[in-house]
Amino acid sequence: MTGVSDGESVSLDLLKMKMAEFAKERDWDRFHSPRNLLLALVGEVGELSEIFQWKGEVPKGLPDWKEEEKVHLGEELSDVLLYLVRLSDICGIDLGKAAMRKVELNAIKYPVGMCKGSSKKHNNNNSNSNNGTEK
């Protein structure tokens, strides 16, 4: 059903192309404004959050989860990814390049020598920070 064989990776460019085709075939481009896509993305993040809402801390790999719970999680994660890819495309942002740039900026902002093994917030100005996830 995926059109991708096991072990084969899927690029952001392929997802971008598939989402553009999907929207065009359904004549949905006119609805895919940045604002509308962002609001849809936020809604999907809410659905993703609901999955974890009352579970407390969950160990890596989700060893205690049933297979159907993992499938549902994969679906919600995919919804978030697909809306993010579509939003970046509509905004003219190369998401892969933007993400790589952000990783490089975070490496500068959070040098290993000052941050390794610590979850304390840090930046070069010693002001509040966000552990490398936002501006």
The per-residue pLDDT for range 38-93, each reduced to its tens digit, is 999 999 999 999 999 999 999 999 999 999 999 999 999 999 999 999 999 999 99
Which residue type, as a one-letter code, is found at position 114? M
Q: What is the pLDDT of residue 8?
A: 86
What is the reported pLDDT for 127?
A: 46
Mean confidence (pLDDT) of the chain: 90
Question: Structure pTM?
Answer: 0.82
Q: What are phi and psi of 107, to 5 degrees?
A: -65, -35
- DSSP H helices, 54-111, are 67-90, 95-109
6-10, 29-33, 38-42 — which is least confidently predicted? Answer: 6-10
Q: What is the DSSP annotation of the chain?
A: --SS-TT----HHHHHHHHHHHHHHTT-GGG--HHHHHHHHHHHHHHHHHHHTTS-S--TT-TTS-HHHHHHHHHHHHHHHHHHHHHHHHTT--HHHHHHHHHHHHHHHS-HHHHTT--S---TT-S---TTS--
Q: What pLDDT does 5 receive? A: 76
